[in-house]
Structure 1
Amino acid sequence: MTVDVEDYFHVSAFEKNISRDRWDTLPCRVEQNTDRILQLFADHGICGTFFMLGWVAERYPNLLRRIVNAGHELASHGFSHIRVTQQDMDSFREDVSRTRKLLEDLSGTAVLGYRAASYSIGRENLWAHRVLAETGYRYSSSIYPIHHDLYGMPEAPRFAFHPPELPIFLEIPVSTVAIGRHKFPCGGGGYFRLFPYGLFRWALRRVNYLDGQPCIFYFHPWEIDPDQPRQRGVGMKTRFRHYLNLQRMEQRLLRLLSDFHWDRVDRIFLNQNLANNEK
């Protein structure tokens, strides 16, 4: 179970409408929404992994500490939600190093995981895996192996894999379900709000029982916040994707938390990988 800790104005789809120099002027709702998620997880006895923006951590250090004190894994989402496709190797290295140091200094815990903004690691920038390994990360969950107009690497493996020449580093793709030769998304986000819950539950169970693999699910704090400020001047596609079924998200999430067993990424994947390496 993973949460990308960012606010409604951080999303890549709004970057043409909301410039970064306006972020500090907008009403911030990420703290109250993340606290709500922490309560939902506590009510269900669930620990997860929180991929946090450095921008959020700087402004809400006590939120970061509440996440860690509740037993969740803290991981990096980069500093200010810049897609890797918009960075060169040097700027990416500076971004992931700066964010990891900030999160570790504020939390007093090791940060091992990273998720790129908008799943922006793909066939054109796989060098990012080596940079992450060199800067102390143990895993990434930054590839979505599907076709999408904004991201995706459909030829990537569906399940956790070691990038070439990086035997102690894992890429853990967001979950997809295979039907015939085709892969369909079942890892959360807008798809979880779009498709009927029963279809999502079937897909996740198929991955668990037919493939024998754990699932990676993600969502954002703003997705449980139907009262967030509405943005003007955004395109119809963006408006549909961002605001669809926000009012139903929390109830769907509650069903998901009850229907499956969830845990932190590091405990499921890194412990399993360590055991496999010792065999």
Structure 2
Amino acid sequence: MNVLTFDIEDWFHVLDNPSTKTEKQWVQLECRIHQNLDRILDILKKHNQKATFFCIGWVARRYPTIVKKIDNYGHEIGSHSDMHQLAYEFNREEFRQDLEQSIKSIEDVVGKKVRAYRAPGFSLKHQNSWMLEELSKHGIEIDCSVFPARRAHGGFKEFGHAEPAYVEIDGARIKEFPINLYSLFGKNIIFSGGGYFRLIPYPLIKFFMKTSDYVMVYLHPRDFDYDQPMIEGLSAFRRFKSYVGLKTTSNKLDRLLNDFDFVDLREANKNIDWSQVKTIKLNRKDK
């Protein structure tokens, strides 16, 4: 099963960077999301391909035409938080408020229930696993926040094998679609989104895809923007990670959609026999 998703944020929504952390800074920067979204929608239209778009609430309020356009093209829309901050930096009440605002902002635009969520930077850890309870309480049926390996922003290595599963915590139950991993020489390789997708040559991505039972592709509008400005304050490593391969993304996605079949989360959810998947039980850990 190959699932296609996009995180809808602008080029400056880079996590854990002081120069782009707040709304006060965002509104001073050039908006480039319209042209980059159009590049994505044109590719999907060419292939008659549906995808799930995780939108931040701030974008829905500031640029409602963006979210309306995605909906008019028939794509599913989920929440990518409201203000695009790392989830584990919130206490529970702060997370709840951010979640509620994001859901309201998106639903006010499209008039449809938000049923899926992805945390910015996959920032779900064992220490803030209570957020899955909050998602369930607010009508979220599917979460895509688990990155089942160590990483800079989060990482939930305790999750286990990267495949769809039920997660239970304190009586709440939610469907989880994690990011996929590929094991190579004892190392976990990520290849299906963001900087990983831009960096890895397409023939290698194709090989990983062919030998994987489950793939979750995640891309951003900024991944398609090869002449975007350079963000201030990034380390040399993060500059490389943020800007490598930007000229290749459109072509890679086009080839990927030619070579493989994909579904959005709605269709993936329908195709899974949920009575046969594993259930992961977590202990509640409130801050």
Task: Give the TM-score normalised by the residue count of structure 2.
Answer: 0.89
SS of equivalent residue, structure 2 residue 212: helix
Letter in structure 2 aligned against 1:186: F
Residue 16 of structure 1 is matched in structure 2 by 18
Q: In structure 2, how many angstroms separate the alpha carbons of the residues matched to 1:27 and 1:57?
A: 17
Residue 140 of structure 2 is matched in structure 1 by 137
Residue 211 of structure 1 is matched in structure 2 by none
Letter in structure 2 aligned against 1:85: Y
Deviates more, 1:159-168 or 1:130-139: 159-168
Residue 67 of structure 1 is matched in structure 2 by 70
Please tell me whether the aligned partners of residues 76 and 114 of structure 1 are also in contact (alpha carbons under 8 angstroms).
Answer: yes
Cα distance per residue 1:225-260 (max 9 Å; x no partner)? 011111234210110010001111111111111111
RMSD: 1.8
In terms of fraction of residues, the more strand-rich structure is 2
Q: In structure 2, how many angstroms separate the alpha carbons of the residues matched to 1:274 and 1:100?
A: 25
Letter in structure 2 aligned against 1:152: G
SS of equivalent residue, structure 1 residue 91: helix
Deviation at 1:148, TM superposition (A): 1.9
CA change 1:275–1:44 in 2 (3 A) is farther
Residue 3 of structure 1 is matched in structure 2 by 6
What stretches of structure 2 of length at least 5 have no aligned partner?
A: 278-287
Cα distance per residue 1:27-72 (max 9 Å; x no partner)? 0111211122111100011000000011111111112111111110
Please tell me whether the aligned partners of residues 187 and 216 of structure 1 are also in contact (alpha carbons under 8 angstroms).
Answer: yes
Matched, 1:37 2:40: yes
Please tell me whether the aligned partners of residues 146 and 185 of structure 1 are also in contact (alpha carbons under 8 angstroms).
Answer: no
Letter in structure 2 aligned against 1:255: R
Matched, 1:162 2:166: yes
Q: Of residues 102, 106, 114 in structure 2, which corresponds to 1:111?
A: 114
Residue 241 of structure 1 is matched in structure 2 by 241
Report sequence identity in percent. 32
Q: In structure 2, how many angstroms separate the alpha carbons of the residues matched to 1:83 and 1:41?
A: 29
CA change 1:144–1:19 in 2 (3 A) is closer
Residue 189 of structure 2 is matched in structure 1 by 184
Please tell me whether the aligned partners of residues 148 and 155 of structure 2 are also in contact (alpha carbons under 8 angstroms).
Answer: yes
Please tell me whether the aligned partners of residues 146 and 156 of structure 2 are also in contact (alpha carbons under 8 angstroms).
Answer: yes
Deviation at 1:124, TM superposition (A): 1.1
Deviation at 1:155, TM superposition (A): 2.9
Letter in structure 2 aligned against 1:18: T
Cα distance per residue 1:69-115 (max 9 Å; x no partner)? 11100000001101111101111111111111221121011110000
Q: In structure 2, how many angstroms separate the alpha carbons of the residues matched to 1:204 and 1:151?
A: 25
Cα distance per residue 1:165-195 (max 9 Å; x no partner)? 5675111101112346543213311111111
Task: Give the TM-score normalised by the residue count of structure 1.
Answer: 0.91
Residue 174 of structure 1 is matched in structure 2 by 179
Question: Number of residue pairs matched?
Answer: 271
Please tell me whether the aligned partners of residues 106 and 114 of structure 2 are also in contact (alpha carbons under 8 angstroms).
Answer: yes
Please tell me whether the aligned partners of residues 79 and 99 of structure 1 are also in contact (alpha carbons under 8 angstroms).
Answer: yes
Please tell me whether the aligned partners of residues 56 and 81 of structure 2 are also in contact (alpha carbons under 8 angstroms).
Answer: yes
Q: How does 1:65-104 map to 2 (within 5 A)?
A: 65-104=68-107
Residue 152 of structure 1 is matched in structure 2 by 155
Letter in structure 2 aligned against 1:163: V
Q: In structure 2, how many angstroms separate the alpha carbons of the residues matched to 1:241 and 1:2?
A: 20
Q: In structure 1, how many angstroms separate the alpha carbons of the residues matched to 2:230 and 2:185?
A: 40
Letter in structure 1 aligned against 2:183: A
Higher relative contact order, structure no. (Cα contacts within 8 Å, ≥ 6 residues apart): 2
Q: In structure 2, how many angstroms separate the alpha carbons of the residues matched to 1:134 and 1:16?
A: 32
Please tell me whether the aligned partners of residues 146 and 184 of structure 1 are also in contact (alpha carbons under 8 angstroms).
Answer: no
What stretches of structure 1 of length at least 5 have no aligned partner?
A: 209-213
Deviation at 1:203, TM superposition (A): 1.2
